[in-house]
Amino acid sequence: MHSDVEEPGQSQGIYITEDVRSYILRRKHDFRVSTSCGGPILLPVSVKPPKTTDLQIPVGDYTVYVSKYQARYLDCIHRGMIPIFYNDY
């Protein structure tokens, strides 16, 4: 059975893990999932600006933009997508 109500942290079938949601809320700005040579990567929009074709997923007062190229392959945005030099866990 399909529900029109999505779980918190889920949009368009893409789930954002709770630790990534907390990370975004602590950093207090928007992020973008884009393509890198190592696979999908979560970067601040100051490093990788969003495009008009990106999927937008709200996280509190912030937005996670997902590249249309990554969106079709993603079902979860998780901690492993945060580059180690941005990771403050």
Asked, for residue 88, whether it belongs to a domain, the answer is no
**The predicted structure's pLDDT at residue 52:** 95
Asked, for residue 27, whether it belongs to a domain, the answer is yes
**pTM for the structure as a whole:** 0.81
Asked, for residue 1, whether it belongs to a domain, the answer is no
Counted domains in the chain: 1
Residue, of 26 and 2, whose pLDDT is higher: 26
Asked, for residue 34, whether it belongs to a domain, the answer is yes
Q: Which domain covers residue 19, as residue numbers?
A: 10-81
Asked, for residue 2, whether it belongs to a domain, the answer is no
- What radius of gyration, in Å, describes the C-alpha atoms of the chain? 12
Asked, for residue 89, whether it belongs to a domain, the answer is no
Cβ burial of 45 (10 Å; 0-12, 13-18, 19+) is middle
**The predicted structure's pLDDT at residue 27:** 94
Mean pLDDT on 42-67: 95
Asked, for residue 87, whether it belongs to a domain, the answer is no
Number of residues that this document lists for the chain = 89
Asked, for residue 60, whether it belongs to a domain, the answer is yes
**The predicted structure's pLDDT at residue 44:** 96
Read off the DSSP letter of residue 86.
T
